[in-house]
Structure 1
Amino acid sequence: MMEQLQSAAEEWSFLKKLGFRFFFTLFVLFVLFYPNGFFPYFDYLFEIYIQPFRSLIPWIGTHILHTTNEAAAHPTGSGDTLYDWVTLFFISMLSVAVTIVWSIVPTNRKNYNVLYYWLTVLVRYYLAFTMLTYGFYKVFKLQFPFPSSGTLMEPYGNSSPMRLAWTFMGFSKGYNYFTGFGEVFSGVFLLFRRTKTMGALLSLVVAANVMAINYCFDVPVKLLSTTLVVMSLFLLAKDLQRLLQFLVLNTTAAPADIATPTFKKPWINKALVVVKYGTILFIFVTYIYQGSEALSQYGDDAPKPALYGIYTTEQFVKNKDTLTPLATDSLYWHKLIVGSYGYATVMAMNDSLHAYVFETDTAAKKITMYTDADTTNKSILQYSQMNNTLQLNGIWQHDTVSIKMQQFPLQNFRLINRGFHWVSEYPFNK
């Protein structure tokens, strides 16, 4: 079995034992219910054991919490769904119940030093791999893409707080590197016992900043980011007195106790070292490979669609009648905004926006447009492009149209052409 830590003779107080039992149960359950890709391919195992709870959680929401809507599990890209919050309630109540039972059962155990060590290992690796995941996404600039043509045309006032945050982050590649490497370094430091305090301090700063953005800009990852802050504080709790002595009181701080429980059979300890470094190497190779592959599909350097950009209408002919561009007209195209991922937006003269699936056949010089709500009603337009002029001819909503458009150079946007300046005589806040 395992040899005890040096402080094995220390006797914990009842409150310390109580707190440990609760957080031990809570953190273990949180990792199991919110793996968050904390280990590659762990999701396959997650899909097996989570199945019974996908029926239990909605039942708890309906019959115990009396939620108005059903707390059903459904992938939406949000980490703060009703299902997620009911799950958090469930594991919190289960942690309280386990803590009570654990405290009632008679035991002569003076402390939980060994179990505490393995809990910190779990929390360190979960926090580290989460930081590494988000960090590499920023380093490869996959999480926050550069503002699209549609975003550049959207007024500030029409933007959601989350879109505003995404635009702010996506504009600067340098700031992505700064925040991304901060997360990567904190993750690396957390992987080793000697640097875990440094990693926890750095992850606390990084995670607190992310949490603040999530709360202040209504980004639906509040639950996870808050947990990362709590986990960082948990890892720092043991060193709190040392940190106060060194950082606040300016006195000598004792070295950290980084003793680790070991198995009596040496081969087991050696095997654990091999597994640890093998896992770290696997994680880094996986993140770098996946990030490099994703760059060609989702990053700023990914190929843009053939007609990507913003086009302003110069002439709109409907059924052989040339329409006058009136400010109240909801039919006349004022602008066509072609974005990535097969979508485009038509801005009418009255500034109303209409989103369409936008399929381009470059060989046949043909565009097919339709809405997600009605995939059967499709409009087909032939296109020709010369220099910056785009000509569209065909059927649009059962009418024959001929539309002549002029492409708007994206470099004309101040956000893009302003650039960087070491010397500024006056603030350029426009």
Structure 2
Amino acid sequence: MVETTAGPRWWIRTGWVLHALLRFVLIMAMQGYVWSKLNLTQMGRMDYSEALVATGEKSPMGLLWTFMAYSPVVQFLAGAAELVVVLLLVFRRTAWLGGLLGTVALGTVFLLNMTYDVPVKQFALALTAGFALVAAPELPRVARFLAGRPTAGTRGAPPLLPWPRLRRVTRWLVPVLGLALIAAQGVLFQQLQPAYQRTDVALAGVYRVVEDPSPPAARLADDRRWQQVAVGRWTWAGPTLPVPGAPPTGSAPLAIRTADGELVTGTWSPVRDGLVRAELRAPRSGPEPLLTPPARTVELAWSVRPDGRVTLSGDGQRLVLESDPELRFLYDRGFSWSYGNGAAVNR
């Protein structure tokens, strides 16, 4: 570090002030990603409604989201890693390590965004560059250490404030306020976007239609009868947002596959015992926004028969549903260390 008798040159001090501001910006920018992964809301929960969606019908981003949503552990650990990065940025002595780890973490996110066509590529690249700039001042010492060369001691960043008495206060006050800000963001996020809750309504499941008194259409391409029904089990516990297509509080996803091959998605909410309200979108077709307003709302009455089958009526439907173990295979398959068809399989 080049110094004069008056202390560090002004441009050195200015550079470290910008370094501190960059750390603050990165801490704030990462909050949504950190807490949405920790409470499993960024990618959501893998639910029964996904059972009716063929791989070829997904977008690249949808495929990535499904992969992450299937494993809550992976999603949570990704958020935990990002939280560690953010906490390291709070302290000047550990900020370089947070920058280094953040460069790796957000560089991986940027790579995923590029290869799975996630529409925040520029933002992920900017975050990656920001973390790299935070780590940059210490990178020469890290390189010497990795090369097995001696790393001389360093005085580190110069004091940002010229007043010693004030520095003695801000030395601890600023990190404490930083930690309090991160904790407050987590509490606020949990209030606005709480974790999904599992419903206790027995209707949740994946079914195929085994009885339908409706006559078939003359052509298969015109047959709108329901053939498969998937009723989600993870309900949205947050407030109903004033955005068209946002899920209502207490609703879970719903998917219907018709005989002509169309896929209808939406949400369902319990009205009372044996009755649910379904908000159905238009049949899926081409690129569409994540939050698509429903095309119609219907009420469906249901009951479980002694043989375990489910009767479903309403909206012109009088169906008997039977749980489909093949469509539930992904959800029912457990973990095993063993080999063979009775354990881990690749199908």
TM bracket (short chain): 0.7 to 0.9
**Cα distance between partner residues in 2 of 1:423 and 1:378:** 47
Match of 2:111 in 1: 212
Tell whether the 8 Å contact from 2:48 to 2:328 is kept in structure 1 after alignment: no
CA distance in 2, matches of 1:144, 1:346: 22
Q: In structure 2, the residue corresponding to 1:239 is in which secondary structure?
A: helix
SS in structure 1 at match of 2:319: strand
- Asked if residue 181 in structure 1 is aligned to residue 98 in structure 2, the reply is no
Deviation at 1:262, TM superposition (A): 4.7
Instruction: State the partner residue of 2:11.
Output: 112
- Cα deviation for residue 129 of structure 1 reads 3.9
CA shift digits 1:181-218 (9 cap, x unpaired): 22121111121111122111111110111110111101
Give the match for residue 205 of structure 2: 309
| Residues 142, 298 of structure 1: 8 Å contact kept | yes
The equivalent residue for 2:2 is: 7
Give CA-to-partner distance per residue, 1:10-34, whole Å, 9 cap, x none: 9xxxxxxxxxxxxxxxxxxxxxxxx
Unaligned runs of 5+ in 2: 236-246, 283-291
CA contact (8 A) 2:274 2:302 kept: no
CA distance in 2, matches of 1:143, 1:238: 33
Secondary structure (helix, strand or coil) at the match of 2:265 reads strand
Q: Residue 93 of structure 2 aligns to a residue in which SS? A: helix
CA distance in 2, matches of 1:227, 1:144: 22
TM-fit CA distance, 1:345: 2.6
2:209, 2:320 within 8 Å by CA — same for their partners in 1?
yes
Closer, same or farther in 2 for the Cα pair 1:273/1:307, shift >3 Å? farther
User: SS in structure 2 opposite 1:403?
Assistant: strand
Equivalent residue in structure 1 for 2:304, among 360, 385, 389: 385
Residues 359 and 294 from structure 1, CA distance in 2 versus in 1: closer, same or farther, beyond 3 angstroms?
Answer: same
In the alignment, structure 1 residue 407 sits paired with structure 2 residue 323:
yes
In 2, the alpha carbon distance for the partners of 1:254 and 1:117 equals 21
- Report how far residue 404 of structure 1 moved: 1.7
TM-score under structure 1 length normalisation = 0.63
Question: Which digits, 9 at most, give the CA deviation of each residue in 1:305-324, with x for residues without a partner?
Answer: 66333222111123xxx559
TM alignment of 1:9-408, pairs within 5 A = 9=4, 112-247=11-146, 249-273=147-171, 275-290=173-188, 293=191, 297-299=194-196, 301-303=197-199, 307-318=203-214, 323=216, 328=221, 330-339=223-232, 340=235, 341=247, 342=251, 343-356=253-266, 358-363=268-273, 365=275, 367=277, 369-371=279-281, 378-386=297-305, 388-396=308-316, 401-408=317-324
Distance (whole Å) between structure 1 residues aligned to residue 294 and residue 124 of structure 2: 38
Contact persistence 2:279–2:294 (CA under 8 A): no
Structure 2 length normalisation: TM-score? 0.77
Displacement of 1:274: 5.3
Q: Give, as a single letter, the amino acid of the residue that structure 2 aligns with 1:352.
A: E
Classify the secondary structure of the residue corresponding to 2:213: strand
How far apart in 2 are the matches of 1:390 and 1:228? 50
Task: Name the CA distance, whole Å, in 2 between partners of 1:368 and 1:259.
Answer: 59
User: Could you tell me how far 1:246 is from its partner in structure 2?
Assistant: 1.6
Secondary structure of 2:94 counterpart: helix
| Higher normalized contact order (CA 8 Å, seq sep 6+, divided by chain length) | 2
Deviation digits for residues 365-412 of structure 1, max 9, x if unmatched? 35455547997965444333346432233443xxxx4222223469x7
Deviation at 1:237, TM superposition (A): 2.5
Letter in 2 for 1:285: A
CA contact (8 A) 2:309 2:323 kept: yes
Deviations 1:216-262 (A, max 9, x none): 10111111110111112212322232222222x32112234423325
Amino acid at match of 1:159: K
Deviates more, 1:169-178 or 1:280-289: 280-289
Q: What SS does structure 2 have at the residue aligned with 1:313?
A: strand
Tell me by how many angstroms 1:159 deviates: 1.1
Question: In the alignment, is the contact (CA less than 8 A) between 2:98 and 2:135 conserved in 1?
Answer: no
Distance 2:267 2:186 in 1: 32
Which amino acid in 2 is paired with 1:385? V
Alpha-carbon displacement from aligned partner over 1:280-301 (angstroms, at most 9, x marks no partner): 2322432443465568x443x4
How far off is 1:127 after superposition? 2.1
Given the superposition, is the C-alpha separation of residues 174 and 359 from structure 1 closer, same or farther in structure 2, using an over 3 Å criterion? closer
C-alpha change, 1:117 and 1:144, in structure 2 (3 Å) is: same
Does structure 2 retain, via aligned residues, the 8 Å contact 1:124–1:191?
Answer: yes
